[in-house]
Amino acid sequence: MDIKISLPYENISDGVSFLRQCSVRETFRLHTHDFYEFFYIVRGKAIHEINGENQILSEGDFVLVRPWDEHKYSFLDNFDMEIISVGFSCENFNSAVNMLEISEDVFTKSAMPPVINLYGYNLADIYRKLCRIERTPIGEERKMYFKAILTYLLYEFISYGEEQPRNSVPPWLADVINEMSKRENYFAGLPKLLEIAHSSQEHITREFRRHLDVTPTEFINIKRLNFAAELITEGNMEITEICFACGFNNLSHFYHCFKKRYGCTPKQFANELTDDR
């Protein structure tokens, strides 16, 4: 069962809230609001689960979430994200739409919320405007400032024209990603992935490249290498033991992959940890 989130009590008077979250771990589980929300991806990538679909969002994406939209965020492979979220009352939304002299259907008729990808001047300008909300004192001053920029922010969605296509992750691929994030499965490697996906290696490779920009083998190795780094950090096992414990069958290949990912060998990684202590 989803949860419904309201504006924080201290923001009720001005009708706008500001929240910066630096990881998917800090975001809410599946929820709706009793307010509208802008969110902007400051950095990174994540899966946005919205109204039963999965979208890949990345740096520069700017989204208008309506009160009835059900959504949450999930990790995309080894990526994380930083996000700015601005909630604002339905009253503020209706006032801005009236000022623009347009129908609210422009923003509400679609089954999916409007999404645009910002770049260049618009990216920097909107980022500055959103950050200034946080610096503006709560109350009448923040209320006045937000009303002044809200029509501008909504107009950006109109000026970009039709909603830009999103790189949606098919439900079956999201399930594969979730299953292959389990340690016993990425240890088992590519044969296990193909078994879970019930599809040919050619098709799976094409879909992984299309949606995640990595091959299935690269995806599996990232999982294994992340775990290897954890084991090295714990300091309870030799490098050779860690290599085979993480599913690698060749020590030289393990060293090559580790250095490519972390910029140093496993031994150098361990030595740096020792020096830090």
What confidence tens digit (pLDDT) does each residue in 2-37 have? 689 999 999 988 999 999 999 888 998 899 999 999
Query: At residue 170, does pLDDT exceed 90?
Result: no
Residue 264 pLDDT level (bands cut at 50, 70, 90): confident
One-letter identity of residue 188? A
Query: At residue 44, does pLDDT exceed 90?
Result: no
Per-residue burial over 141-169, b if 16 or more Cβ lie within 10 Å, else e, is: ebbebbbebbeebbebbeebeeeeebebb
Q: What is the 3-state secondary structure (H, E, C) of the chain?
A: CCEEECCCHHHCCCCEEEEEECCHHHCCCCEEECCEEEEEEEEEEEEEEECCEEEEEECCEEEEECCCCCEEEECCCCCCEEEEEEEECHHHHHHHHHHHCCCCHHHHCCCCCCEEECCHHHHHHHHHHHHHHHHCCCCHHHHHHHHHHHHHHHHHHHHCCCCCCCEEECHHHHHHHHHHCCHHHHHHCHHHHHHHHCCCHHHHHHHHHHHHCCCHHHHHHHHHHHHHHHHHHHCCCCHHHHHHHCCCCCHHHHHHHHHHHHCCCHHHHHHHHHHHC
Inter-residue contact 265 to 243 (CB < 8 Å): no
Residue 277 pLDDT level (bands cut at 50, 70, 90): very low
Please state, in angstroms and rounded to a whole number, the distance separating the CA atoms of residues 207 and 270. Answer: 36
What's the pTM value of the predicted model, to 2 decimals? 0.63
What token pair was written down for 159? 């000026």
CA 176 to chain centre: 18
Give me the mean pLDDT over the 91-104 stretch. Answer: 92
> How high is the pLDDT of residue 169?
72
- What are 48's strand-pairing partners? 55, 73
Residue 276 pLDDT level (bands cut at 50, 70, 90): very low
Q: What is the pLDDT of residues 181-218, one digit of tens each?
A: 788 998 899 999 999 998 889 989 988 887 777 889 98
Q: 16, exposed or middle or buried, with CB in 10 Å at 0-12, 13-18, 19+?
A: buried
Inter-residue contact 176 to 193 (CB < 8 Å): yes
Query: At residue 67, does pLDDT exceed 90?
Result: yes
CA 123 to chain centre: 18
**Mean pLDDT of all residues belonging to the chain:** 87
Residue 131 pLDDT level (bands cut at 50, 70, 90): very high
> How high is the pLDDT of residue 43?
87
Q: For 252-261, which contacts have Cβ atoms below 8 Å and span 24 or more sequence positions?
A: 254/228, 257/221, 257/225, 258/225, 258/228, 261/222, 261/225
- What are 63's strand-pairing partners? 39, 115
From the CA atom positions of the chain, what is the Rg in Å? Answer: 22
Q: How many CB atoms lie within 10 A of CB 228?
A: 26
